[in-house]
Chains A and B, each alone.
Chain A
Amino acid sequence: MVLLLGLLLTGGLYAAFAPAQAHDESDNSAQIEQGRQLFLVSCAFCHGQNGEGVLTQDGTQYGPALTDVGAAAVDFQVGTGRMPMAQPGAQVPEKENVFSDDEVAALAAYVGSLGTGPAIPDADMYDPKTLSGDEYQDYVTRGGQIFLANCTACHNFEGSGGAMPRGGYAPKIRGVDPKYIYEAMLTGPQSMDTFSDGNIPPDDKKAVIAYLDSLNNSPSYGGLTLGSLGPVSEGIVAWVVGIGLCVGFAVWIAAHTTRSSKKKDEVQA
């Protein structure tokens, strides 16, 4: 929870500064240099001195090459705390971001300068708050359909996440900063497929984010959502709460009431 709050906070703060930084990225060689220094300290062990990647002895990837991943990928991976990773595993979990916003921006600028790859998006590309009322509604409806066609299969109908092969998982995507959602679609972190602009056009990505935003803002009409996991949690509630309460009442109904040591005849007599 703290982690989530932290992420929201850093993400939110970052969103405020991001556009300005994105613009002077190209000519800010000092920032790139700062990023290179950070990279050498924090990333080079796995990704190589120049981001060329590191192979293990048997030829598998230790750390993938970062030459063409782009600034957006770095912003997502480092900004959500996934990188630098604490230990190798089936999947790198989200955790608290160890870098300041400036440092993340510097790292992103450095890796972005290594080759091609998507840049950090501008706020008006992803932020549903930039949409007016009617426009927002259109985006939500369209985004919902695109969300159902492309995202729910892994991330579940409410973005609660789902299981993937061999211990992997599609993480929960509700309450995540819109920028990170956009960057994740753009760059396909870890095992996720990419949804490049040729796959889902930028405006439709924004529509998906608007739909998720509308889910965040709509009340849970039917009561507590039980984790929005579908029939499994519903079944558990039916048994534990439903059957449990009914059986509990049955026990009470059939239980013997307290008894008096006196006899009625004695009292009357």
Chain B
Amino acid sequence: MSDAHESHSTELVAADEPIANPGLPEHTWRPTDVDPAKERRAEIQVSVLFMLSAVCTVLFCVSYFVFDIKDNWSTVGGLGASTVALGLSLAGALLFVGIGIIQWARKLMGDHEIVEMRHSAGSNESERASALADLATGIEETGIARRPLVRNTLLGSLALLGVPMILGLRDLGPLPGDKLYHTIWGEGTDEHPMRIVRDGIWTPILASDLEVGDLVNCQPDALMNPERYGIDPSEVEGTNAQIVKSKASLILHRMNPADIKPGVDAEGNSRANWDVNGIVAYSKICTHVGCPISLNERTTHHLLCPCHQSTFDLSDSGKVVFGPAGRPLPQLPITVDDEGYLVAQRDFDEPVGPSFWERDYYER
């Protein structure tokens, strides 16, 4: 058997090779090839593996019906019994059959290495020549080289056909317009400035409610009481509420008023009246890629983004003190209304959230 390879192995060795190819070594036999008892044992071993697989499959079916996944999840060692039992029995069923097949191949199937010759990946000369000739004939018969007008108009019209395909995508969504420049904080009226409410609890906040060191995650009141601000309720329902939140989410932080470093807005005016007794309000949306941020260090007033660790200083106009964010966190000027609840003075005076190309077009 091995003589087949030895015959050609020597001739393959190049002249300058230090050692000649000795050819395939002689085949050695496995215990299962030479010892019928071992062969029989392997046979039983493989069948046992297959049977174990079948047992596991039965177990899978049993656990499917036994373990209830409705209201009361039964558990195994604190783990969900249904998932664990189904997973382990399925894994057993698959692994045992897989291992059995491999064992069969390793122990019982013929294991002589055989040789196959390779061919060059390319075609041979005559094949290539005939294909090229066919190609040339074909092109010649179209006359495309001789009729540039036909060729050029065809290419032009095909290129134009790309336009409808791209145009068809136009209605995927509306144009951005000025949507990214405004938030719902600007939609309060003189009579009813936009109240700030606790996120998830939805109650307005009295300035006196908060103690130094408090951090409140907030939303605009319009999400719960749109009518109060003359907003159509449909604008703040369902996915629209998500859109509103994705820009308007806010954090309030009360600090010692002496800690606040005097800042200026984009036009150089002081931010002195933007806080209420040391309560400052900042956009919760990171200026890097837009994750909500509320990991605040009470002692340093440093606000950290959990996504990429941009750190902003809430006592210093939201300045970036660490990390990848390129701009300070936008601050919302706040005050109190007649009843003493915290409200927005007006909208942010810059777009919130991550940067975009036209961001600086913003007109105040």
Contact = CB atoms under 8 A, between A and B. Distances in A.
Q: Is there a direct interface between A and B, measured as CB atoms under 8 Å apart in the complex?
A: yes
Interface of A: 142, 145-146, 148-150, 153-154, 162, 164-165, 168, 170, 188, 190-196, 198-201, 204, 218-224, 252-253, 257-260, 262-264, 267
24 contacts: A150-B199, A150-B217, A153-B292, A153-B295, A165-B300, A165-B304, A165-B309, A168-B297, A170-B295, A191-B298, A193-B253, A194-B212, A194-B215, A196-B209, A196-B214, A198-B210, A199-B214, A221-B73, A222-B80, A258-B31, A259-B28, A259-B29, A260-B28, A262-B29
Interface of B: 28-31, 33-35, 73, 75, 78-81, 83-84, 87, 102, 106-107, 111, 198-201, 203, 205-206, 208-217, 253, 292-300, 302, 304, 306, 309, 311, 322
A224 B309 CA distance: 29
Contacts of A150: 199-200, 217, 294
B29 A164 contact: no
A140 to B, nearest CB: 14
B251 to A, nearest CB: 10
Contacts of B295: 153-154, 162, 164, 170
B214 A220 contact: no
Contacts of A257: 30, 106-107, 111
A116 B2 CA distance: 95
A40 B29 CA distance: 86
A204 B209 contact: no
Contacts of A252: 102
A218 to B, nearest CB: 8
B213 A188 contact: yes
Nearest to A252: B102
Of the candidates B111, B200, B309, B322, the one having the most CB atoms from chain A within 10 angstroms of its own CB is: B200
Contact of B210 (A196, A218, A259, A267): A196
A262 B83 CA distance: 50
B87 A263 contact: no
Nearest to B211: A196
B153 to A, nearest CB: 54
Contacts of A170: 295
Contacts of A145: 200
**Chain A residues touching B, majority SS:** loop
Contacts of A224: 79
B80 A188 contact: no
The 4 closest A-B pairs by CB, nearest first: A198-B209, A193-B215, A221-B80, A219-B75
A165 B322 contact: yes
Given A150-B200, A199-B216, A192 B298 contact: yes
A179 B80 CA distance: 29
A135 B216 CA distance: 26
Contact of B297 (A162, A164, A200, A201): A164
Given A164-B297, A198-B206, A262-B29, 6 more contacts: A149-B200, A165-B311, A196-B210, A219-B73, A223-B80, A267-B34
Contact of A199 (B84, B210, B299): B210
Contacts of A221: 73, 79-80, 83
A234 B209 CA distance: 42
A147 to B, nearest CB: 9
A193 B294 CA distance: 10
A220 B73 CA distance: 10
A257 B205 CA distance: 75
A162 to B, nearest CB: 7
Contacts of B217: 149-150
Contacts of A188: 213, 298
Contact of A164 (B107, B212, B304): B304
A72 B28 CA distance: 80
Given A220-B80, A221-B83, A260-B29, A191 B34 contact: no
A204 B201 contact: yes
Contacts of A219: 73, 75, 78-81
A222 B296 CA distance: 32
A223 B292 contact: no
A180 to B, nearest CB: 18
Contacts of B293: 153
A165 B300 CA distance: 10
B69 to A, nearest CB: 9
A95 to B, nearest CB: 21
A267 B84 CA distance: 50
Contacts of A264: 29, 33-34
Contacts of B201: 146, 200-201, 204
A29 B30 CA distance: 90
Of the candidates A154, A194, A219, A222, the one having the most CB atoms from chain B within 10 angstroms of its own CB is: A219
A153 B81 CA distance: 31
Nearest to A153: B294
Of the candidates B28, B209, B253, the one having the most CB atoms from chain A within 10 angstroms of its own CB is: B28
Contacts of B78: 219-220
